[in-house]
Amino acid sequence: MASPEHLAKASLYEARKGVYPKKVDGFFRRFKWGIMAVTLAIYYGTPWIRWDRGPYAPDQAVLVDLAHRRFYMFQIEIWPHEFYYVAGLLIMAGIGLFLLTSAVGRAWCGYACPQTVWTDLFQHVDRLIDGDRNAQIRLANAPWSVNKAARRGAKYLVYLVIAFWTGGAWIMYFADAPTLTHDFWTGQAAPIAYGTVAVLTATTFILGGFMREQVCIYMCPWPRIQTAMMDEKSLLVTYKDWRGEPRGSLKQAQAHPGAFGDCIDCNQCVAVCPTGVDIRQGPQIGCITCALCIDACDGVMAQIGRPRGLIDYCTLEDAAAEQAGGTSKPVRKTLMHPRTIIYFSIWSAIGLAMLFSLGQRTRLDLAVQHERSPLYVQLSDGGIRNTYTLKLRNMEARPRRVSVSVSGLAGAALWSEDGAREDARQSLDVALPADSVTRVKLFVAAPGGGPARQDFTIATRGLDGDPRGDSETIQFDRPET
Amino acid sequence: MADHKRIDEATGTSTVGHEWDGIEELNTPLPRWWLWTFYATIVWAAVYVVLFPAWPMIDGATEGLLGWSSRGQLERELAVDAKRRAPIVQAIGAAELADLPARPELMQAAVQGGGAAFRVHCVQCHGAGGAGVKKLYPSLTDDDWLWGGDLPTIQDTITHGIRNPDHKQTRMSQMPAFGRDGILEPAQIADAVSYVRTISRQEKPGASSARGAAIFETNCAVCHGASGEGGRQVGAPKLTDAIWLYGGDRASLTATITQPRNGVMPRWGERLDPVTIKMLAAYVYSLGGGEKLAPPAGGTAAPDGRQADGKP
């Protein structure tokens, strides 16, 4: 048995090593700014876009109406039984990630992942309040003082405001945004709204303010999955060690021309890294390929008069080619290889199929359930009655009138719960309120003495201009003779 | 066991310092926040055990400081639901039973409430959905009624039951045991059966049924009507239709005339509250055979019960 003192020395647990990324400017940094602006604008702004759907449906462009079980996305309205469209979207998102990974590596991680975007945002807050990298390190190591406490307090307050705003924006997707905002601040919103905002505020505060790269390294499954999907044709942020090594300071390199590579060991690539890795150690789980080290290194190379791209996006194939003295393929060619083309074809096929079926789907849906207890009822005149429950879904945002009729059942007459057999007819008119499900109990009587089981068709037809409807074939039962 | 930490060359990771026959362990430390998360879950569990029922004892479990129990939660939810239903139950109680079909919002609620009560109290005999049981209990879904199928009549039958000897208002009648008590000879019964099967169009008229007509007139017509149309005052079934509670074939009819069943139904007026009985009547009425009351005045209005926004 090892003694406790020994275990303490071995330290099985490791405190987080602070990451204080340095400010950097360059192409990729600006690109990241752009993506951050777009993604945050989409996240915070989408619920506020209005979309007129007439008097019977909400006018919010994107709305997940859990209470009424409707999902609105611009002119598309999804009902719960059409959930396969959502499943399709999720599959597209999954294949989209595969496509992105096989083409440009961990671009999702580096630019668009919410964890990256919010971490980036919080790191800007750090710089705004504590100063750049060196000031942050100094403050972190300084003993507690009024100044440090004030700065920490201010920083956490800003974190909290951002986190609260993030959580607050989330709930806007689930209810009418202006109404919910009013209700939220006047204490009239549902408890679940406050609960959701509280949870998301807490997670944003903790994950964005403190966990940061720990989420990517220890918690997120995606980096591990991605590792299996990258190949020699995937773009990676690569330190071109064949060009950079052996490293030497500028002075050493000037003293011994030809003895050193381009890397002057200035450590700028490490200083700017938001996850605190050293890219010169090669591809690693901590590298989210945000390309900020490329910006930093390019800046240094420009200063010392060397060509840019000592650290650059590069596929393993290109790396091998360059190492052997060849040239790398142009990016356009790198992107077009069988894997990306196959992924893209699957991705777009699913998308097109969904669009096609969206255009073709009926907005007047009929579902019929045959009453099973009893399956049939003997009527006193010798006829047989079967009972069906019709679920008529009017998925349009307007009230409709439809007729329900039967075919394929000789001598059939039908009436609903409100009617009686005396006024039974061949068809039945039903008024359907806008955007709703109407249940109709349908009694169908037919002469006895037919087959014990007989298929017939119940069909609906619009009576108000658009005659398209739906039909279902179902069984009519008679007693076995 | 050696005790020296060193850096492993292949991985660049330090070892924990243990070595067993040359086998060493790399130290890849767990993040410390993970440890704190683990401690937090332990604290959570400790608090949970104190607040909620947790430790199993010999006859139950520790109750927990919050006093929560799943049964208590169910009771609270039931109370909330009863409160939610109270206004509509009250409205159903206040409404005239015969008016219910004209008020769809009340009728729907009554049919649902009645269905729930039916599944508890009635399905044992009348079967799921009121389908009845062949040769034992009548179907409530067809268009043939022994005692009548309009709403007040159904309510009356449920309240007072059928053939309860200890209850004055019960529905009472008794078909004599023509065979068992020797009122009719077996041959006469056979003739009566022929006649009944003739008027229900199951057999062609013949000598037997002609003899049976006379027997019918003297013995049966007083309750079942001169032409077998039945009599609802005494619960005498119609004999001319296609619906036979105890069977319409020769053997079944012979058995019925020889020794009638005179079925019994308990009265529910003393066990169920009036609103439940009202809702049960509405449910039975809705099963497909409900009969309209003879209308006192012209057409019935059926306002649309749905709200304008289409959410019922």
A93-114 confidence digits (pLDDT tens): 999 988 988 888 888 999 999 9
Whether A16 and chain B come into contact, CB under 8 Å, resolves to: yes
Confidence of residue A43 (pLDDT cuts 50, 70, 90): very high
Residues B154, B103, single domain; the answer is yes
Q: What is the largest CA-CA distance in chain B?
A: 119
pLDDT (0 to 100) of residue A296: 95
> From A11, which residue of chain B is nearest by alpha-carbon distance?
B29
Mean pLDDT confidence for A132-136? 92
Mean pLDDT confidence for A374-399? 91
CB contacts, 8 Å: A13 with chain B: 29-32, 34-35
Answer yes or no: do B242 and A399 touch at CB < 8 A. no
Indicate whether B37 belongs to any domain.
yes
The answer for residues whose C-beta is within 8 angstroms of residue B291's C-beta and 6 or more apart is B143, B145, B148, B149, B150
Confidence of residue B294 (pLDDT cuts 50, 70, 90): low
Does residue B305 have a pLDDT over 50? no
Residues B91, B167, single domain; the answer is yes
- Nearest by CB: B238 against A9, A373, A380: A380
Indicate whether B243 belongs to any domain.
yes
Indicate whether B4 belongs to any domain.
yes
Convert the pLDDT of each residue in A433-472 to its tens digit: 998 999 999 999 999 888 999 999 999 999 988 888 889 9
CB contacts, 8 Å: A56 with chain B: 309-310
pLDDT (0 to 100) of residue A359: 87
CB contacts, 8 Å: A441 with chain B: 286
Residues B271, B167, single domain; the answer is yes
Residues B167, B87, single domain; the answer is yes
Mean pLDDT confidence for B163-189? 93
Q: CB–CB of A288/A109 below 8 Å? A: yes
CA angle A237, A242, A244 (to 5 degrees): 75
Residues B105, B165, single domain; the answer is yes
Q: CB–CB of A345/A99 below 8 Å? A: no
Indicate whether B130 belongs to any domain.
yes
Mean pLDDT confidence for B146-166? 94
Does residue A144 have a pLDDT over 90? yes
Answer yes or no: do B129 and A374 touch at CB < 8 A. yes
Secondary structure class of A37 (helix, strand, coil): helix
Query: Which CATH superfamily is A364-477 part of?
Result: Immunoglobulins (2.60.40.10)
Confidence of residue B35 (pLDDT cuts 50, 70, 90): very high
Does residue A8 have a pLDDT over 50? no
- Give the separation between CA A397 and CA A436, rounded to whole angstroms: 9
Residues B37, B97, single domain; the answer is no
Whether A479 and chain B come into contact, CB under 8 Å, resolves to: no
- Give the separation between CA A164 and CA A179, rounded to whole angstroms: 18
Convert the pLDDT of each residue in B193-223 to its tens digit: 999 999 999 999 999 999 999 999 999 999 9
What CATH number corresponds to the domain at position B119? 1.10.760.10
Average pLDDT of every residue of chain A: 90
pLDDT (0 to 100) of residue B309: 42
Task: List helix spans (H) across A292-374.
Answer: 292-303, 316-323, 331-335, 338-360
CA-closest candidate to residue A50, choices A69, A67, A74? A74
Does residue B179 have a pLDDT over 70? yes
The answer for residues whose C-beta is within 8 angstroms of residue B180's C-beta and 6 or more apart is B258, B259
CB contacts, 8 Å: B16 with chain A: 10, 12
Average pLDDT of every residue of chain B: 89
- Nearest by CB: A381 against B139, B242, B308: B242
Residues B192, B140, single domain; the answer is no
Residues B97, B167, single domain; the answer is yes
Q: Is the pTM for the entire model greater than 0.90?
A: no
Helix (H) or strand (E) holding A429: strand A427-432
Secondary structure class of A400 (helix, strand, coil): strand
> From A419, which residue of chain B is nearest by alpha-carbon distance?
B288
The answer for residues whose C-beta is within 8 angstroms of residue B46's C-beta and 6 or more apart is none
> From B25, which residue of chain A is nearest by alpha-carbon distance?
A10
Convert the pLDDT of each residue in A236-273 to its tens digit: 899 998 888 888 888 888 888 778 888 999 999 999 99
Mean pLDDT confidence for A311-325? 88
Confidence of residue A420 (pLDDT cuts 50, 70, 90): confident
- Nearest by CB: B144 against A380, A418, A436: A380
Distances in Å between the Cα of B13 and the Cα atoms of B5, B32, B237 are 10, 18, 95
What residues of chain B have any CB closer than 8 angstroms to a CB in chain A? 3, 5, 16-18, 27, 29-35, 101, 104, 127-129, 131-132, 139, 141-144, 238, 241-243, 286, 288-289, 292, 302, 304, 306-312
pLDDT (0 to 100) of residue B14: 82
pLDDT (0 to 100) of residue B272: 95
Residues B147, B206, single domain; the answer is no
CA-closest candidate to residue A384, choices A417, A419, A411? A411
Domain interval for residue B282: 83-171+267-286
Mean pLDDT confidence for A170-185? 94
Does residue B153 have a pLDDT over 90? yes
Distances in Å between the Cα of A153 and the Cα atoms of A149, A159, A443, B75 are 6, 10, 71, 47
Whether A17 and chain B come into contact, CB under 8 Å, resolves to: no
Indicate whether B163 belongs to any domain.
yes
Confidence of residue B286 (pLDDT cuts 50, 70, 90): very high
**Optimal mutation site among B11, B33, B111, B135, interface A, most CBs of chain A within 10 A:** B33
Mean pLDDT confidence for A354-375? 90
> From A387, which residue of chain B is nearest by alpha-carbon distance?
B288
Secondary structure class of A2 (helix, strand, coil): coil
The answer for residues whose C-beta is within 8 angstroms of residue B18's C-beta and 6 or more apart is A2, B1, B2, B3, B24, B25
Does residue B2 have a pLDDT over 60? no
pLDDT (0 to 100) of residue A331: 75
Of A240-254, B4-18, B77-91, B153-167, which range is least confident?
B4-18
Q: Which two tokens stand for residue A366?
A: 């009929």
The answer for residues whose C-beta is within 8 angstroms of residue B153's C-beta and 6 or more apart is B145, B147
Indicate whether B304 belongs to any domain.
no
CATH 2.60.40.10 residue ranges in chain A? 364-477
Provide the domain count of chain B.
Answer: 3
- Give B221→chain A minimum CA distance, Å: 20
- Nearest by CB: A374 against B31, B139, B286: B139
Does residue A81 have a pLDDT over 70? yes
pLDDT (0 to 100) of residue A267: 92
- Nearest by CB: B139 against A377, A420, A448: A377
pLDDT (0 to 100) of residue B299: 40
pLDDT (0 to 100) of residue A10: 55
Mean pLDDT confidence for A147-171? 95
- Give A6→chain B minimum CA distance, Å: 9
Q: Which residues pair with A459 in a beta bridge?
A: A405, A471
Does residue A403 have a pLDDT over 70? yes
Answer yes or no: do B312 and A12 touch at CB < 8 A. no
- Give A114→chain B minimum CA distance, Å: 21
Indicate whether B144 belongs to any domain.
yes
Indicate whether B249 belongs to any domain.
yes
